Amino acid sequence: MKRVRLPLLLLMLLLPLTSSCGFRDIDKRFFVIAMGIDQPSNGAKGFNVTLRLAVPSPKIEPGSGKNQVVSIQATSIAEAVRLLKAHVDKELDFGHCKVFMLGEGLARNNHTDMLRWLSRRRDVQSVAYMAIGHPDAKSILNIAPPDERYPGNTLFLMFGKDGTQSSYLVPVYVFDFIRRTEERGIDPVLPIIRAEGKSYVITRLALLDKTKLVETITPAQTETYSQIRNQDSKSTVAAVKDGDTMVINVDRISSHYKIVKANGEHVLRLHLRVSGIFEEAPLGIYEANWDKLEELFNEQIASEIEKLFKKVQHAGVDPFGFGLRYRATHAGSPQTWKDWERIYPNLKFDIHVRVKIDGTGLVK
Amino acid sequence: MNRYFYYNIVLVSLLNLMLFVPYLLIQHRYEGSIMSMACAAIVGSILALLFTHVMKTYPGKGLPEILTLFFPKFLAVPFMLGCAFMWLTAASIVLYTYSVLINRFFNPDTSSIIVLTFMACVCLYGATRSMFTVIVVMEVILVVCTPFILFVLFKAVRSPLLDWDAIRTVAHYWNRLPKVKPFASSLFVFTGYMNFFMFNRLNSPNFRIRFRWFIPVFGSLILITSFFVPIGFHGTDGSADYLYIWSVTSDSLVMSYGFIERVIFVFLLLYLMLSLMFATIGWHLAMELVKSCLPQPKKPVDPAKTPRSNWVIVCVFVVMTITYAYTFNEKQNLEITSYWIVLRACVEIASVLFLFALSLAGSGKRKRLET
């Protein structure tokens, strides 16, 4: 006893200090599950910040998720959050905020101001998702899907890998978005959410440069982007033969690209290998010459990819990270980046697709 | 005792994140970090090997005992106090940095000084124990933590979001000349053996160190990971903006089915244990060095009763640490750490070469006696 007397005494002396720790019980907190940032509607300076708060509910059953949506306009995001604290009775907690949404208007204008808040806040998860709300973030956050088991679950399941895995949705984490806005050689992308009735639809991808949204691509191009960049195997490839659409469900996919110099000009050489079985095709495909079918797929997919690459190049953005690949394969010096800025607008594309048909499904 | 030697190496090399080593390396990523890391790996390993020769020559003798073989006390005391200062500052900087981290990521409402006080009390208790207890506790902590930390590192390297192009881009800057700051900070990763300046007292006379290749291999792996993985996650340009780069990097990992989704909390808890252990050892060694400057009869390695002098000396350390935290803010702490790490590298190189020279002289003396 004698030996522990001193430490015990010290510990007791420390106890009064804990009163200032500022700990709050869970029932005294409002968990923010999604945050939306818009431009003010009247053209004023600043931001219109919308928070979707989870209302605790004792039941977990479809439709029992309760939300409270609060919204305010202020000259800075931090100020808006402080002001919103005056609108609610519990402490706001961003620790569970998994979706940060930009209004399309703000994204088209300038998204960098928003990052000044997002990257500095200590309780913002680096693994939260980012998206663009169409037409604005507030109207998306106001939607409460009727079948939600707990607040925000629909959005979390859509973005995460646990629920639906759509090939038209490219999830983007906060840290990935920040990295792409800083990095020379790769530009940010964000999925676009729009409302449909009391639910959400995410099919298109927005391409941004370092400061603003410059282009959106179609759902089919979004799927192609996902196949090339993320080697997304939960996807399909399609081709048209004599007016009939044939669709292959992808089992394995791999994409490699490199930037080579041929005949004095730089060429991006992409190899995309896809294999899978038919999901939809006219009867009798089993008897057809598979080599010819594969050839058809190869040509049509390659031309689609080239169209996407040209579109991206024309928009002056680099969502695939070709520039970073160029930097990664050339000597380390500031000159390399200057060279790439000169090369990219005139970059040629050489696309090789190799589709391998594994089978035709259950019927011939 | 072999494994205790390597526990020290593992602990110190893992702790590099708390002393801003990745931060300093990433600041110089375009200006010679990689070459500095390579040089540090070579120099650090050579120093460690030289030091094992010292340990072999003087089994069971700590730094104070070796010095008294050659020098009168008034010459040995400043050297020992200098070394004590290095260990004390290492421990205190780690504690302060960690208390700020807790304030940032765990509980923003608590003042970091309060957190620091609590942590200092834990380390106060730990550091006053006997040398034998300290080294055994270290074994327990490392056996518990290291597998999880290696798991997190493995997860980071295997993550699909790790951008290998960014890593390759930075790797292309390998041909820049090394610089002092990145060199000194990477040298810290290889410095775990220095704890045996004092722990050598525990070694038996027939002690032999095996698996010496482990020092360069493990150190280099940890160094490469702590430099390149954050670059892979935050980009060649973005990674330089973060202060607590590894905390943010661990936040970029997800464990969907791991009870806690955000890896950062697991990671910070593991580093809490490691930081407390590191500070305990640092203060303990500094305390032993200070004690050996005082005039007193030789004490056994594992006394039954904690001497009062232990409490007094470590309490002074605690007060100094808290004063440091009061006096300097985050920015100054980072600045001081970056200069401290250079000073530390100089002290390390000088003292190890000095001791090696002594050990050569010592073995020469012994040979003359034998013939």
pLDDT in tens, B254-296: 887 777 788 888 899 999 999 999 999 999 999 999 988 887 6
Q: Where are chain B's structural domains?
A: 2-93+119-370
Determine the 3-state secondary structure of B233 from DSSP.
Answer: helix
Token duo for residue B332: 């100054």
pLDDT at A56 exceeding the cut of 80: no
Check the CA dihedral B61-B62-B68-B69 and report its sign: positive
Sort A22 into a burial class: Cβ within 10 Å, 0-12 / 13-18 / 19+.
exposed
- Find chain A residues with C-beta within 8 A of B261's C-beta: 127
The SS3 assignment for B252 reads coil
Question: How confident is the model at residue A157, as a pLDDT?
Answer: 87
Sign of CA dihedral B302, B303, B304, B310: negative
Instruction: Give the separation between CA A4 and CA A21, rounded to whole angstroms.
Output: 26
Helix (H, G, I), strand (E, B) or coil at A362: coil
Is B171 strand, coil or helix? helix
Q: List B residues 173-192 in contact with A (Cβ-Cβ < 8 A).
A: 173-175
In DSSP terms, which residues pair with A70 in a beta bridge?
A51
Angle between helix axes A334-343 and A322-329 (nearest 10 degrees) is 140
Single-letter amino acid, residue B333: N
Strands ordered across the beta sheet of A265-280? A236-241, A244-262, A265-280, A348-359
The pLDDT value given to residue A113 = 84
Comparing CB atoms, the residue among A10, A176, A327 nearest residue B121 is: A10
Nearest Cα residue in chain B from A331? B172
Q: Which two tokens stand for residue B29?
A: 């990523």
Q: How many angstroms separate the CA atoms of A235 and A221, rounded?
A: 12
What own/partner pairs with CB < 8 Å and gap ≥ 24 does B84-89 have? B84/B285, B84/B286, B84/B287, B84/B289, B84/B290, B85/B286, B86/B343, B86/B344, B86/B347, B87/B282, B87/B283, B87/B285, B87/B286, B87/B289, B88/B282, B88/B283, B88/B286, B88/B317, B88/B320, B89/B340
Pairwise pLDDT comparison (A156 vs B305), residue with the higher score: A156
Q: Taking CB atoms and an 8 Å cutoff, what residues of chain A touch B248?
A: 126, 175
> What average pLDDT score do residues B214-235 get?
92
* β-strand partners of A205: A191, A217
Over 80: is that where the pLDDT of A58 sits? no
At A17, is the pLDDT very low, low, confident or very high (cuts 50, 70, 90)?
Answer: low
Terminus-to-terminus CA distance in chain B, angstroms?
31
The rounded distance, in Å, linking the Cα atoms of B44 and B51 is 11
Whether B160 and chain A come into contact, CB under 8 Å, resolves to yes
Is B168 close to A230, i.e. CB distance below 8 A?
Answer: no
pLDDT at B298: 62
Q: Which of B117, B166, B172 shows the shortest C-beta gap to A331?
A: B172
Give residue-wise pLDDT tens across range B114-132. 889 999 999 999 999 888 8
| Spatial distance between the Cα atoms of A262 and B176, rounded to a whole number of angstroms | 30
Distance CA B337, CA B342 (A): 9
- Residue A26 CA, chain-centre distance (Å), reads 30
**pLDDT > 90? residue B56:** no
Report the range out of A20-24, B36-40, B156-160 with the highest average pLDDT: B36-40
**pLDDT of the residue at B271:** 92
Predicted confidence (pLDDT) at residue B304 exceeds the cutoff of 80: no
Q: Do A182 and B237 touch (CB under 8 A)?
A: yes
Both tokens assigned to A16: 């009064």
- Whether pLDDT at A13 is above 70: no
What is the pLDDT at residue A163?
79
- Let me know how many helices (H) and strands (E) chain B has, helices first: 15, 0
| Whole-angstrom distance, CA of residue B50 vs CA of residue B73 | 25
**A96 in reach of chain B (CB within 8 A):** no
Radius of gyration, alpha carbons of chain A: 25
Q: What is the mean pLDDT of residues A147-152?
A: 82
What are the Cα distances from residue A71, in Å, to A81, A124, A179, A361, B77?
9, 19, 29, 51, 67
Mean pLDDT of B243-255: 88
Question: Hey, where are the domains in chain A?
Answer: 26-217, 231-359
- Which pLDDT score is estimated for A262? 84
Span B237-242, average pLDDT: 89
Is the pTM here over 0.80, yes or no? yes
With CA atoms as reference, report the closest residue to A139 among A36, A34, A30, A32: A36
Q: Which residues of B29-61 are buried (b: 16+ CB within 10 A; e: fewer)?
A: bbebbbbbbbbbbebbbebbebbbebbebbeeb
CB pair distance less than 8 Å for B161 and A176: yes
Question: Residue B320: which pLDDT band, with cuts at 50, 70 and 90?
Answer: very high
**Chain A contact present for B166, CB below 8 A:** yes
* pLDDT of B279: 95
Contact state of B166 with A125 under an 8 Å Cβ cutoff: no
Task: Give the integer Cα–Cα distance in Å for B328 and A20.
Answer: 22
Q: Do A185 and B169 touch (CB under 8 A)?
A: yes
Residue range B207-215: average pLDDT? 84
User: What does the alpha-carbon distance between residue B335 and residue B333 come to, in Å, rounded to a whole number?
Assistant: 5
- If you average pLDDT over every residue of chain B, what do you get? 88
Whether the per-residue pLDDT at A233 is higher than 90: the answer is: no
- B251 contacts A175? CB cut-off 8 A: yes
Tell me what the mean pLDDT of segment A129-156 comes to: 87
Residue type, B251: D
Q: Residue A328: its chain B contacts at CB < 8 A?
A: 164-169, 172
Instruction: Supply the DSSP symbol for B16.
Output: G
pLDDT of res. A41:
81
Q: How many CB pairs under 8 A join A and B?
A: 109
Minimum distance, in Å, between the CA of residue B34 and any CA atom of chain A:
12
Question: Cis peptide before A135, with omega less than 30 degrees from 0?
Answer: yes
State the best of B114, B236, B260, B265 to mutate against chain A, taking most chain A CBs within 10 Å. B236
Local structure of A34: helix, strand or coil: strand
Q: Averaging pLDDT over each range in A57-66, B97-106, B278-287, which range is the top one?
A: B278-287
Under the banding of pLDDT at 50, 70 and 90, the label for residue B38 is: very high
Average pLDDT over residues B325-329: 91
Question: Does pLDDT of B366 surpass 70?
Answer: no
Q: What pLDDT score does B299 carry?
A: 63
What is A231-359's CATH number, 3.40.1190.20, 3.30.300.210, 3.50.30.10, 3.40.47.10?
A: 3.30.300.210
pLDDT above 70: residue B371: no
Q: Which neighbouring-strand residues pair with A253?
A: A274
The token duo for A96 is: 């569970």
Contacts of A340 in chain B (CB under 8 A): none
pLDDT of residue A221: 92
Of chain B, the percentage scoring pLDDT greater than 90 comes to: 53
Nearest-CA distance from A188 to chain B in Å?
A: 12
Residue B368 pLDDT: 61
Q: For helices A322-329 and B164-171, what crossing angle results, to 10°?
A: 30
Query: Over the stretch A215-228, which tens digit does the pLDDT of each residue have?
Result: 999 999 999 999 99
Per 3-state DSSP, chain A is made up of helix, strand and coil in percentages (nearest 5) of 35, 35, 30
Say how many residues make up chain B.
371
pLDDT higher at A2 or A320: A320
- A123 touching B (Cβ < 8 Å): yes
A14 contacts: CB under 8 Å, gap ≥ 6: B117, B118, B121
DSSP 3-state percent helix, strand, coil across chain B (nearest 5): 80, 0, 20
Confidence tier at A165 by pLDDT (50, 70, 90)? confident
pLDDT exceeds 90 at position B74: no
pLDDT digits (tens, 9 = 90+) for A240-285: 888 888 999 998 999 999 899 888 889 999 999 999 998 888 888 8
Chain B: closest CA distance from residue A284 (Å): 40
- Average confidence (pLDDT) over B11-22: 91
> Is the separation of the CB atoms in B106 and B260 below 8 Å?
no
For A183, which of B173, B238, B251 is closest by C-beta distance? B238
The answer to whether residue A324 neighbours chain B at the CB level (below 8 Å) is yes
Give the CA count within 13 Å in the CB-facing half-sphere of B354. Answer: 16
Selection from A170, A171, A186, A197 nearest residue A98 by Cα: A171
Q: Model confidence over A95-123: pLDDT tens digits?
A: 888 899 999 988 998 888 888 888 888 78
Residue B246 at interface with chain A, using a CB cutoff of 8 Å:
no
Confidence of residue A11 (pLDDT cuts 50, 70, 90): low
User: Residue B341 phi/psi, 5° resolution?
Assistant: -70, -30
Show Cβ contacts of residue B203 under 8 Å, excluding neighbours closer than 6 positions. Answer: B1, B55, B59, B60
Confidence of residue A332 (pLDDT cuts 50, 70, 90): confident
CA distance B91 to B18: 10
